[in-house]
Structure 1
Amino acid sequence: MKGLRFARHGGPEVLGWDEVPVPEPGTGELLIEVRAFAVNWADLLERAGRYPGAPEPPYVMGHDLTGVVVARGPGAEGPPIGTRVFGVISKGGAAAEFVTAPVTQVYPAPATLSDAQAAGAAGPYLTADAAILTMGRLRKGEDVLIHAAAGAYGSACLQLCRAYGAGRIIATAGSDAKAERIRQWGADVAVNYTTRDFAEVVREVTGGRGVPLLLESVGGEVLDRSLDCLSPGGRLVSVGASSGRGSQRLRLHTLFELGVSVSGFTLGTWLAHNPELVRPSVERVLQQFENGGAAPVVARVFPAAEVAAAHEFLAARRSVGRTVVTVAEAL
């Protein structure tokens, strides 16, 4: 079969579809024929050699996918053979014709979602749900600030915060066009962070108090400035650093001085070691997909032969929603 790999770290030009063995499902695993996979910021950082804990190349990339179950390993229950599934595979390998996955990391794909939507749904929406409710403890009517709301994770946060009864939703994006899109998706206040100081906007909107909940995935200066946006007792939940940079400001005494809490997690770690933490999010998100409370936004779908262009598209921050690659058409 073909699998997407790179032999050395670098730009999109290092990517290639290599011939690799079809994996055998182990105990508690399913073999899935992949229809489509999503491109994440983590994929870009892995390829560039900037993702902590990533294995040394070459290895088959990809985590978020949709496909069809074609075989079961010993003791594997869950979706039967022939079921269309979607999910996030913590060990990777989804950018291939076939991949094995623990039964705890894939779920029957809702009929309401296309393959492209399903491929990009699990990671952003399960992460968003856990950030909002499990870690963020959103209460109905509370104001929320969402960064990078035009992206896959941000748009999922925006939809789910609205569905879960948030108060005013302040959301940031990197252009006027993106700001208009997130306003259409339900943001009460949309901020183009390239032309306005989002911290000043938050203070204006909240009368200087700040927001009780802040959902952050950018890192760097955005994370540093976000600490000025929290109300006393506020909660900041960080799930990534698409900027590739950490904080210069966040220290233990920062929490004491501001009286706030900061938490973070990665969905992959939870899925690999504590899948029971994810199950409530799976149930809530599937319900939202079924009742129309949420619908994954797909920015663009690329054929497998154009996977390098998909990486470039996401890296250029041109994606409004999810960037997806289909597998079957070109391999």
Structure 2
Amino acid sequence: MPFRTSGLHHVTAIGGDPQRNVDFYLRTLGLRLVKTTVNFDDPGTYHLYYGDESGKPGTLLTFFPWRDAPSGRIGTGQATTTAFSVPQNSIGWWKQHLEASGVETGRVGNREGEDVLTFRDPDGLQLALVAHPQGDPRDPWDNRFVPAEHAIRGLHSVTLSVSREDATAGMLTEGLGLGFAAEDGNRFRFVAGDGGPGATVDVLVTPEAPSGLVAAGTVHHVAWRAPDEDTQAAWREELISRGVGVTSIMDRQYFRSIYFREPGGTLLEIATDQPGFSIDEPLLELGRALKLPPWLEPDRQQLEATLPKLRLPSENNPVLA
């Protein structure tokens, strides 16, 4: 396998009310809204990107939020849990913080030596906070809602739920260059490189579970990192040569993307690390204004009249705070 991803790039999910989505991820989880744009394939809805200060690959959870979206069904053929990385001694603080914010949490567990706290967002999306024993060197977004010593560092991992693991495991190892790391009952762990936060995927085998239905409260797709466009293009040809149905390369303005499904049903993406989110607005103003790609600029007036207004806390943009 000549191509190996260095880890997760982003996870994209379906949300409900956009303002509720913003309030939860900015105020409750303490992330930064690094880009306010639209779904390029369906521009009548937002595409909201949450991450660290600059939206570096590996820190991003993004949403297509529809105010009246029906609820999805979590099941096989999906990424069913998105986990964030937090400092080792922060799980207790987070449990108190989430419960004080009206969020129901699960019991603190331990998996592969890591403390894990599970909960759901307002639309039912399954989330987790994971404390890696060796820590996470990534810097958090500095804001007043979550103290820096407890703040989210970025994505930790995703869990894919499948009815059987063999074909999915083959795609992860041969298609993405991940390595098998551990097995715990019906859970199989694969990692990019040496693993750790931002470079881990768990495959959960649940043959008795229903098939998932992608709608509000579920993950739409999981994106993995490619360093540049040349690598991505060559990677695409490699996947095609293996019989994988892959899309053309798509311009997502802040990265380039290709999409394909792993055999278990989850939609995967390979996204480039560049050009990043500061190509069309300054770092201090990320997420503040609606940004559109050039081909949608002629429709700006109509889109701004259609999309619901969003209220952002001033802390999202330090120049305003």
TM-score (norm 1): 0.29
More helix by share: 1
Give the strand-richer structure, 1 or 2: 2
TM-score by length of 2: 0.29
Considering only CA atoms, is the larger Rg found in Structure 1 or Structure 2? 1
